[in-house]
Structure 1
Amino acid sequence: MATARAHAAVLADFGCMDGSSSGKQEAVMGCMPTEDVEFHDAIKEVFRRYPEAQGKYALSSLDLENEMKINFDEKVGVSRIEDGRIITEFKDRKSVTRMRLCLKWNFDYSECLHWKEAPE
Structure 2
Amino acid sequence: MLSIKAIPRKNPQDGTVASKFYAHAISQGIVDFERLAYLVSNQCTVRVPDCLAVLRALEFNMMDELEQGKVVQFGDLGNFQIGVRSEGQTLEEEVSANTVTSAHVNFRPAKRLRKMLKNLDYKLISTSTL
Q: Same fold (TM over 0.5)?
A: no
Which of these two proteins has the greater Rg computed from alpha carbons? 2
- In terms of fraction of residues, the more strand-rich structure is 2
TM range (shorter): under 0.3
Q: Which structure has more RCO (C-alpha within 8 Å, separation ≥ 6)?
A: 2
